[in-house]
């Protein structure tokens, strides 16, 4: 059964083209919901306002009746990520054309885990095939020892004889999958077992 990945990697440089403005220690990543097909225009507008924006994209093949075309699409359709201080005014973000809401609990925005953002960036930099994936529950973990994702911990799934590493963004209830070589991974003890041994 397919299971997800929880990535635990160090922060790294963002992919080319992602604006990195100066940020304070109180800044955090937040998920912003946008109107359908407005991901790029909202990203451009927010960057123009000086915000640090991350819009993960991937290449996909779309089939029409007479041809197949390669397109670039949002990895999380209807969402992008923005880094800001929650104590600052949110009006410039909420009044940006195409913005629907900042994701959170009720009217309180909730930050996205930095490890999840770093994990997405690591996958995009790897050059491996990546695509959206149904959201999955947490499972047992492996450690990637070699290859472009070396140093990443997660869960490997085997679907149609293809091994994939699944990264989930918990706040969105969305996941992405990246194809990997099974030989890159080795099993690691579960977090619960490690905590039990430590307590003993």
Together in a domain, 108 and 122? no
Beta bridge partners of 168: 175
Residue pair 49/90 in contact (Cβ under 8 Å)? The answer is: no
Express each pLDDT in 75-122 by its tens digit.
999 999 999 998 888 899 999 999 999 999 988 899 999 988 988 998
Print the domain residue range for 61.
28-112
For residue 68, the model assigns a pLDDT of: 83
Whether 102 and 131 share a structural domain: no
Task: Specify the pLDDT at position 19.
Answer: 36
Q: What is the CATH number of the domain that holds 138?
A: 2.30.30
Ranges under pLDDT 70 in the chain: 1-25, 136-140, 189-200
101 with 58, same domain: the answer is yes
CA distance 120 to 79: 14
Residue 2 lies in a domain: no
Please indicate, yes or no, if residue 9 is contained in any of the structural domains: no
Tell me which of 112, 145, 164 is where a domain ends.
Answer: 112
CATH number at residue 57: 3.30.70.940
- 190 and 128 co-located in one domain: yes
Q: Specify the pLDDT at position 8.
A: 32
CB 180 within 8 A of CB 144: yes
Residues 108 and 118 placed together within one structural domain of the fold: no
Give the model's pLDDT for residue 48.
95
**Domain-located, residue 122:** yes
Q: What is the pLDDT of residue 106?
A: 86
- If asked whether residues 102 and 121 sit together in one domain, one would say no
Q: Indicate if 100 and 142 belong to the same structural domain.
A: no
pLDDT, tens only, 67-84: 888 888 999 999 999 999
60 strand-pairing partners: 71
Q: Are residues 36 and 108 in the same domain?
A: yes
Picking from 112, 127, 154, the residue at the C-terminal end of a domain is: 112
> How many whole angstroms separate alpha carbon 137 and alpha carbon 157?
12
Q: Residue 154: inside a domain, yes or no?
A: yes
- Total domain count, the chain: 2
Supply the pTM of this predicted model. Answer: 0.73
Same domain, 140 and 127: yes
* Same domain flag for 39 and 89: yes
Decide if 130 is inside a domain.
Answer: yes
- pLDDT score of 158: 74
In a domain, 107, yes or no: yes
Question: Are residues 190 and 136 located together in one domain of the fold?
Answer: yes
Rounded Cα gap, residues 148 and 137, in angstroms: 25
């Amino acid at each position: 059964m397919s299971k997800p990945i929880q990535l635990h990697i160090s922060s790294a440089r963002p992919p080319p083209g992602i604006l990195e403005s100066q940020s304070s220690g109180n800044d955090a990543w937040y998920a912003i919901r946008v109107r359908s097909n407005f991901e790029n225009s909202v990203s451009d507008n927010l960057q123009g306002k000086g915000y640090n924006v991350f819009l993960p994209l991937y290449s996909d093949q779309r089939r029409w009746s007479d041809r197949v075309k390669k397109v670039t699409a949002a990895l999380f359709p209807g969402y992008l990520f923005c880094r800001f201080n929650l104590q600052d005014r949110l009006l410039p973000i909420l009044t940006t054309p195409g913005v629907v809401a900042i994701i959170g609990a009720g009217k309180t925005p909730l930050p996205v885990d930095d490890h999840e953002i770093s994990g997405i960036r690591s996958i995009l930099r790897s050059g491996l095939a990546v695509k959206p994936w149904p959201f999955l529950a947490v499972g047992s973990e492996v450690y990637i020892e070699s290859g472009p994702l070396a140093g990443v911990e997660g869960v490997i799934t085997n679907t149609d004889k293809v091994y994939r590493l699944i990264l989930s963004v918990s706040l969105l209830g969305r996941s992405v999958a990246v194809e990997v070589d099974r030989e890159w991974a080795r099993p690691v003890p579960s977090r619960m077992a490690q905590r039990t041994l430590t307590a003993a």
